[in-house]
Amino acid sequence: MASVGQPPSLKRRDAPVSREGDQLIITPLGAGNEVGRSCVYMSYKGKTILFDCGIHPAYSGMAALPYFDEIDPSAIDVLLITHFHLDHAASLPYFLEKTTFKGRVFMTHATKAIYKLLLTDYVKVSKVSVEDMLFDEQDINRSMDKIEVLDFHQTVEVNGIKFWCYTAGHVLGAAMFMVDIAGVRVLYTGDYSREEDRHLRAAELPQFSPDICIIESTYGVQLHQPRNIREKRFTDVIHSTISQGGRVLIPAFALGRAQELLLILDEYWSNHPEFHNIPIYYASPLAKKCMAVYQTYILSMNERIRNQFANSNPFKFKHISPLNSIDDFSDVGPSVVMASPGGLQSGLSRQLFDIWCSDKKNACVIPGYVVEGTLAKTIISEPKEVHYISFSAHADYAQTSTFLKELMPPNIILVHGESHEMGRLKTKLMTELADCNTKIITPKNCQSVEMYFNSEKMAKTIGRLAEKTPEVGETVSGILVKKGFTYQIMAPDDLHIFSQLSTANITQRITVPYSGAFGVIKYRLEQIYESVESSTDEESGVPTLRVHDRVTLKQDSEKHISMHWTSDPISDMVSDSVVALVLNINREVPKVVVESEAIKSEEESGKKAEKVIHALLVSLFGDVKLGGNGKVVINVDGNVAHLDKQSGDVESENEGLKERVKTAFMRIQRAVKPIPLSAP
């Protein structure tokens, strides 16, 4: 049902009277000039969407949440989660279970499967007091029932909001969401990477350019090393350490990059038979649990993995085994162990680090972004046997700028980046995209970005009404049917063809007691109505009367007459008056009514109408005076309008007033003048 014609162009309206519905608001509730607790609110045309629902890893309890107080959760139609990372999904159980939110939530299949494992683990591991707990395992399980899944590229429509997602790279199941409301498209990238790695596809370039692109800026203007160099460094370090009889510790978060590194190691071991007796472990129960998800959602990964899958599942590692705890680990000779957490704060990676750090044969490889204040951050700066090789799957500056250049969105909103990185990115992008008139905005948390879209409503006139395309000045009358954001105009008879709606006719049949002569009714009716036709009923042969071609009276028996007509307001009114008349005859027969007085002269009624119109205008506008040439002068707050009562034309400097007066006058006239009885 494509009726959204041209893409609306962004244009700030000159007139301040612009309707609220055309205003698009984007407010970061988190991740505005910061990294963590991603949550972006968007509303347009009465539809509201929330992208992501994360927590800030550096805070705990309520402080870690995005600023949910700024919005009304019950008003949100759709909540879209891009991927399973805590800073994108971890406040979801809270938002679903502890707020008034009643919309629908979507994420991809893989994200949903890992979301549950990851958050359950998070609840168990996080050592906060019970009051500070935002949610418990029960909340997570309950939230699972509310989360709906969608596949990449699958278009979903909710309340007229259309959306679908593209591959984002980054982690398994990560998505970029494109939302289309009434033809205005917004792309939210979440975390994305344009570089294909061992198992993930690179983020796709959407087919259509969005009007607004909300994009991450984690790495600002930094550039990554090419992938093959990083991998070479990584394997070289391990190779040389193992050859010298040392042990390698890789502290890494259990999910995401860890799987990529394991793939690299498994492949390296396959190519180096001499290492086959050196064990590789990944020491994370969570990673072990999630392996089933990685083994299943192969379709979300790249061609390389899918081709390997034709032979065997690449996530069934040949040289790598899981390790449950340090007790199961027999530390004899060289080995490679990947353990969480990535920051060496505590847990298995720290235990191993403490044991191994004293021997200089051993090595520690830190494979990604580490947070300020952790041990890992501290040791990076001491260049001993510690290697920092970034495998982070976020876009770097080169990727971001090419992505934006190919996409060419007229508006860019930067989120998910430290304030100064973001600023530098903005400046650099500004110069690079200088000739494209692109707006780049970096809102802080709770700072709304407002934009106006000149939304052109297009309708499709179809069916009988469209048999001939009308010329300018002709009139079009029909039913306007709106579904979602598509409009159609059609004749009433076509309604059932083009929509699921149907029309109805109600025939009414009523019997009225009447024992007088039928002729009397006819006589009376003729006095009131212009058109009264008499005939006889074909079946029963009784006399009938038809008033204004609407209401039929029939003499059923000596004591009753019956009336029947098809419902519509005018017919109902006519029938009511006929009923009243019949009943009156019953009561008052015989009575002579003086007719002539009842009919007033046309002039008189005209004058009366004049008075009524004036009175109504006064009640509406206050200062109403009679001007010359039958014109009325209306004065509202210094704005003057001249109304021609004959033609209904209005002259005024002020457009708004002119419209109002015109409409008011038209409605008054309709109310005051007699109803035309003839239907077309």
Question: Is the C-alpha dihedral spanning 323, 326, 327, 333 positive or negative?
Answer: positive
Instruction: Examine residue 113 and tell whether it contacts other proteins (CB under 8 A).
Output: yes
439/631 with CB nearer other proteins? 631
335/455 with CB nearer other proteins? 455
Do the beta carbons of residue 185 and residue 178 sit within 8 Å?
yes
Paired with 554 in beta bridges are 544, 562
Min separation Cβ 140 and other proteins, Å: 10
- The angle subtended at Cα 590 by Cα 587 and Cα 592, nearest 5°, is 115
Min separation Cβ 593 and other proteins, Å: 23
CB atoms within 10 A of CB 657: 19
> What is the distance, to the nearest Å, from the Cα of residue 59 to the centroid of all Cα atoms in its chain?
29
Min separation Cβ 211 and other proteins, Å: 18
358/678 with CB nearer other proteins? 678
Q: How many residues bind other proteins (CB under 8 A)?
A: 97
Range 204-243, binding other proteins (CB under 8 A): 207
Of the chain, the end-to-end C-alpha distance in Å amounts to: 32
Range 447-486, binding other proteins (CB under 8 A): 456-464, 466-467, 469-484
Instruction: Examine residue 100 and tell whether it contacts other proteins (CB under 8 A).
Output: no
d(CA 105, CA 93): 11
Given the residues 224, 319, 394, 416, the one annotated as active site: 394
Would you give the binding string for other proteins spanning residues 24-43, x where CB under 8 A is met?
--------------------
Do the beta carbons of residue 39 and residue 28 sit within 8 Å?
yes
Is 560 tagged catalytic? no
Range 539-578, binding other proteins (CB under 8 A): 567-570
Would you give the binding string for other proteins spanning residues 142-181, x where CB under 8 A is met?
--x----x-xxxxxx-------x-----------------
62/292 with CB nearer other proteins? 292
Range 263-292, binding other proteins (CB under 8 A): 289, 292
DSSP 463: G
CA dihedral 613, 619, 625, 630 (to 10 degrees): -10
Locate 481 and state its tokens.
Answer: 């049917």
Locate 584 and state its tokens.
Answer: 């009156």
Instruction: Examine residue 298 and tell whether it contacts other proteins (CB under 8 A).
Output: yes
Measuring CA to CA, which residue among 407, 33, 390, 445 is closest to residue 217?
33
Radius of gyration, alpha carbons of the chain: 38
Measuring CA to CA, which residue among 185, 177, 213 is closest to residue 88?
177
Min separation Cβ 172 and other proteins, Å: 13
Instruction: Examine residue 84 and tell whether it contacts other proteins (CB under 8 A).
Output: no
Sheet holding 336-339, edge to edge: 320-322, 280-283, 336-339, 248-251, 363-366, 386-388
Select from 112, 224, 247, 387 the one that contacts other proteins (CB under 8 A).
112
Select from 25, 223, 299, 615 the one that contacts other proteins (CB under 8 A).
299
Do the beta carbons of residue 610 and residue 619 sit within 8 Å?
no
Range 242-261, binding other proteins (CB under 8 A): none
Min separation Cβ 658 and other proteins, Å: 11
Range 306-325, binding other proteins (CB under 8 A): 309-310, 313
Range 481-510, binding other proteins (CB under 8 A): 481-484, 487, 489, 492-493, 495-510
Instruction: Examine residue 518 and tell whether it contacts other proteins (CB under 8 A).
Output: no
Min separation Cβ 42 and other proteins, Å: 22
347/463 with CB nearer other proteins? 463
User: How many residues does the structure list for the chain?
Assistant: 680
Range 661-680, binding other proteins (CB under 8 A): 663, 666, 669-670, 676, 678-680
Stretch of residues binding other proteins (CB under 8 A), selected from 109-117, 194-202, 328-336, 604-612: 109-117
84/269 with CB nearer other proteins? 84
Residues 6+ apart with CB under 8 A from 145: none
Min separation Cβ 663 and other proteins, Å: 7
Residues 6+ apart with CB under 8 A from 299: 306
Q: 109-125 and 285-296 are packed helices; what angle lies between their axes, rounded to 10 degrees?
A: 170
Range 325-344, binding other proteins (CB under 8 A): none
What residues are annotated to the active site?
Answer: 394
